[in-house]
Amino acid sequence: MKNVFRNIASILAGVIIGMVVNMGLIIAGTRLIPLAAGIDPMNAEMWDLKYFLFPFLAHAIGTLAGAYIAARISFNRHRIYALSIGAFFLLGGTYMVFVLPAPLWFISADLILAYIPMGWLGWKLTAKKA
């Protein structure tokens, strides 16, 4: 029973840490590269290329951090828990595709590179070296 609670806690911690890292990078990005006057932040089709850096990093590094934490804390099936975090954030990314208009190249890169691969990498970073 203790192991079940540990696995549940690993998912919760992974989601929370991933969200905190994601939001922290989004906030940092808006401070380091503020949107020019007149640009709608809710319409990424109007953005210059430089404005896509921090959203992509936030999605990728947030997922990586959450997956790493979930794999590190979980009692067993570390890969499954790390990839579950990747899948959770992939659902969020898919939702954002419908909420925030963006160029197809960014949507594709974000959905393909930022979630499941980062979940896998988060698990790989916790794997024991033989």
Q: Tell me the pTM.
A: 0.92
The SS3 call for residue 120 is: helix
- pLDDT, average across residues 98-107: 93
- Residues 6 or more apart whose CB falls under 8 angstroms from that of 57 comprise 25, 29
Cα angle for residues 29, 71, 129 (degrees, 5° grid): 105
Q: 108 pLDDT exceeds 80?
A: yes
What's the rounded Cα separation, in Å, for the pair 90 and 17? 16
pLDDT band at 129 (very low <50, low <70, confident <90, very high): low
Q: Which residue has the tokens 């990314």?
A: 93
- Residues 6 or more apart whose CB falls under 8 angstroms from that of 21 comprise 58, 61, 62, 65, 66
What does the pLDDT look like over 26-85, one tens digit per residue?
A: 999 999 999 888 888 888 888 989 999 999 999 999 999 999 999 999 988 899 999 999
